[in-house]
Structure 1
Amino acid sequence: MRKKLLACVVALSVAGSVTAADRPIAPNGIALYPDYMSWKVVAPSYREDKGQIRIITGNEIAVAALKAGTKPLPDGTVLAKVAWKAEKHPSFPVATEPGDFVQVEFMVKDAKKYKDTGGWGFARFVGNNLQPYGKDKSFVAECFGCHTPVAANDYLFTKIVKTP
């Protein structure tokens, strides 16, 4: 019985593991980071023009650098921006809550690899099937163009939220 249970646990863990080959990959080669929701929350945000509630999470490198005020952020920094449609709470209409999942976007810091886009690689995965965004790697021009107004802040709109 113990051997069967162990074999079942091993089979389930292997079946449930996510390898790079199993993850969606953006046209520029950035693969989805499957653990982005287990990273620390850096900040919430609301995008009025899109009607989206968002949270920004960061890997350990990102969070440590943001807390320390390090600029530019070091290579290895990865930030995820997770977006849901904003919906009124059905029992309390003055409250807004996340509805349907919209997308997750990543910013990956590698100053040499992404030197043409301020040291940042960009990726977006849309919908519940996490469809990679963009027909080819030129989609990053759209991402980078949006971030150029905040070039002085290492191309980041986000700052880590402060709490007591």
Structure 2
Amino acid sequence: MKFMLAVLALTLAGAAASGAGELPVAPNGIACLTDYRAWEAVAPSWRDDRGQIRVILGNPTAMKALRSGTRPFPDGSTFAKLAWSAKKHPKFPLATVPDAFAQVEFMVKDGEKFKPTGGWGFARFVGQELKPYGKDASFVLECFGCHTPVKDNDFVFTHLATIP
């Protein structure tokens, strides 16, 4: 099962790959990362209000902290959340599958640099063109506002999906 989740995440992440060229940069200076395509799957999720299938990936630092229960997460921990609109599978309508790529979001831990937002930097890149989200750096207040209910988990919603 773990292998299948990782294969699904990497397959779906590959579908979101953009063409060559300069990486887009969010208004707060966080560039769209590319190495997330090789990260491990943390868990899938579903967002009711957006009708999106999401897969959360973690870099090696984040995965080590998740597995050991280390909180707060150490600097360098980074999560990527990939999102797709959803549709019914045409040959098996009981199944919901990814449709159009919606966005990739990042949480980057740097306790000093991102102190006002709990030590986390946030970035979102929308659509196939990976357009940076937000008119200016204040967009992070929107992200951080959503994450405050999970302050006790260092502002991270996702836990490792349990697998045998």
What range is the shorter-chain TM-score in? 0.7 to 0.9
Highest relative contact order (Cα 8 Å, sep 6+), 1 or 2? 2
Letter in 1 for 2:153: N
Matched-pair identity in %: 62
> 1:55 — aligned with what?
55
TM-score, with length taken from structure 1: 0.86
Distance in 2 between the 1:62 and 1:84 partners?
Answer: 23
Q: How many residues are treated as equivalent by the alignment?
A: 146
Distance in 2 between the 1:18 and 1:106 partners?
Answer: 20
Rg comparison, structure with higher value: 1
Distance in 2 between the 1:70 and 1:31 partners?
Answer: 26
Tell me the CA shift for residue 42 of structure 1: 0.6
Tell me the CA shift for residue 163 of structure 1: 1.0
Would the aligned equivalents of 1:18 and 1:34 in 2 still touch at CA under 8 Å?
Answer: no
Distance in 1 between the 2:147 and 2:20 partners?
Answer: 31
Tell me the secondary structure at the aligned position of residue 142 of structure 1. Answer: helix
Letter in 1 for 2:113: K
Correspondences of 1:21-100 after superposition (within 5 Å): 22-100=22-100
Correspondences of 1:144-155 after superposition (within 5 Å): 144-155=144-155
Structure 1 stretches lacking a partner, 5+ long: 1-16
Would the aligned equivalents of 1:59 and 1:79 in 2 still touch at CA under 8 Å?
Answer: yes
Distance in 1 between the 2:38 and 2:55 partners?
Answer: 12
Tell me the CA shift for residue 79 of structure 1: 0.2
Distance in 2 between the 1:50 and 1:140 partners?
Answer: 19
Distance in 2 between the 1:18 and 1:154 partners?
Answer: 35
> 2:160 — aligned with what?
160
Q: Deviations over 1:1-53 (max 9, x none)?
A: xxxxxxxxxxxxxxxx978xx11100000001112121100110000110000
Would the aligned equivalents of 1:85 and 1:101 in 2 still touch at CA under 8 Å?
Answer: yes
Q: Deviations over 1:141-160 (max 9, x none)?
A: 00000101111111011001
Letter in 2 for 1:117: T
Distance in 1 between the 2:47 and 2:41 partners?
Answer: 17
Change (3 A) 1:123 1:89: same
* 4+ runs deviating over 3 angstroms: none
TM-score, with length taken from structure 2: 0.86
Q: Deviations over 1:102-128 (max 9, x none)?
A: 000000000111110001000000000
